[in-house]
Amino acid sequence: MNFDLSEEQQMFVASVERFAAPIDVEARRRLRLSPTGYDRARWQQLAELGLIALAAGEDAGGMGGSPLDLALVAEAIGKANGPDPLIEHGVLPTLLLERGGAGEHVEGVLSGTTIATFAWTERGQRYSLKPKGMKAESAGDGFVLSGEKTMVMGALIADLFIVTADCGGETACFVVPKDAQGLEVRAYRLADGSIAGELKLTRTPASAKLALDAAALDGIVAEVRLLAAAEMVGLGQRLLDDTLAYVKEREQFGVAIGSFQALQHRLVDCYAREEQARSMLYRAALADRGDAAAWQRAAAGAKAFIGENVDAIAREAVQMHGGMGITDELAIGHALKRVLLLARLFGDVDTVLAEYALAA
């Protein structure tokens, strides 16, 4: 089997590397400390590279990228320790809007002029996609929503909220603009410095209802889980590379600590974990999607395996750096916190592993 990247894939990876190169640790920290946790101008630049368009089909104005194309881009963002929320504000809303038949919103998301986010989490629901507190009612020719959502990523920078709600006992998705009547946002920072928020909707009118059922949502979640795993693979590589460089420079008892056999064994273990994680990622990305259940199981298994192993790499990296490894002064501190977030996106390791076991 040929594992070499195609010319097009090499181009996308190189584009990500050039785009992320100017963002060092201090620039990343300043960006995260901005009022919205990100920069709209930078998002526009990312869109101009065509990275968001990879997620949409050609009929929707996108580039029709393959799952492996998207995984490679996400991995490159992770390796660069980039602060760019391509998964949560690029790929995820694009998939929801395109497959939900909201073509009028897709163009803005692909061009970067519109930032959208998915509001699906509710208190007491853990990682369940089935809404209980958010209700949708018919009102004239449309729908109004009432209820609360939590952990809505990018709550302050988003122009559109794609909100799940109980509609006659079924899960439905609705598009709600940020300036909709009755919409309130309470923002807070997440572990990686990005901003999320809680939404409160009081008979808030939705601008559209997406043509998505529970099965379609499950398929989209599987794709996003795979991309979260891909970014974690990239982050794992960055953590390992930075730690290898550090142990060659840091001296104790007059010698580099990288010469200590105990640390060498632990680093070899991290290397093995990273290579296994990358192999699992590519295996899932190249899986046959003809059988939806088998594909979703493969994505769940990949995310569980990669999340557990990259988390172990991150903790070893921090341990070898000492207390400063957890701070925002070093890249590994930022990488660790992003891993903690991605490992829990649409289910932590235990939740996703349980789904994998049930599907076996």
Answer whether residue 174 is part of any domain.
yes
Which residue range is the domain that position 280 belongs to? 215-359
**CATH number of the CATH domain containing 40:** 1.10.540.10
In a domain, 11, yes or no: yes
Whether 189 and 64 share a structural domain: no
Asked whether residue 162 falls in the same domain as residue 298, the answer is: no
277 and 336 fall within a common domain = yes
Query: Of the residues 50, 79, 114, which one is the last residue of a structural domain?
Result: 114
pTM of the model: 0.95
Based on the domain organization, do 205 and 230 belong to the same domain? Answer: no
143 touches 206 (CB < 8 A): yes
- Domain match, 266 and 176 both: no
Same domain, 290 and 331: yes
The pLDDT assigned to 133 comes to 95
**pLDDT at site 59:** 92
- Of 71, 91, 114, the last residue of a domain is 114
Q: Which helix (H) or strand (E) holds 255?
A: strand 255-256
CB atoms within 10 A of CB 210: 23
How far apart CA 17 and CA 49 sit, in angstroms, is 12
Q: Is residue 1 part of a domain?
A: no
The stretch 39-51 carries a mean pLDDT of 94
- What's the structural domain count of the chain? 3
289 burial level (CB within 10 Å; 0-12, 13-18, 19+):
middle
Q: Same domain, yes or no, for 207 and 222?
A: no
207 and 258 assigned to the same domain: no
What confidence tens digit (pLDDT) does each residue in 172-231 have?
A: 999 999 999 999 999 999 999 999 999 999 999 999 999 999 999 999 999 999 999 999
The verdict on residue 2 lying in a domain is no
| Encoded tokens for 60 | 């929707």
pLDDT average, residue stretch 44-64: 93
CB of 46 within 8 A of CB of 19? yes
The CATH code of the domain that includes 289 is 1.20.140.10
Q: What is the CATH number of the domain that holds 148?
A: 2.40.110.10
Q: What is the mean pLDDT of residues 271-291?
A: 94
Rounded mean pLDDT of 226-254?
A: 96
CA-based nearest residue to 335, from 319, 315, 355, 349: 315
What pLDDT does 1 receive?
56
Q: Are residues 219 and 264 in the same domain?
A: yes
pLDDT band at 20 (very low <50, low <70, confident <90, very high): confident
**pLDDT bucket at 22, cuts 50 / 70 / 90:** confident
Confidence band for 9, pLDDT divided at 50, 70 and 90: confident
Is the same domain home to 95 and 122? no
Residue 95 pLDDT: 97
Place 234 in a pLDDT band, splitting at 50, 70 and 90.
very high
Residues 204 and 226 in one domain: no
| Helix, strand or coil, per DSSP, at residue 154 | coil
Q: Say whether both 246 and 283 belong to one domain.
A: yes
Q: Which helix (H) or strand (E) element contains residue 177?
A: strand 170-177
Query: Could you say which of 93, 114, 135 is where a domain stops?
Result: 114
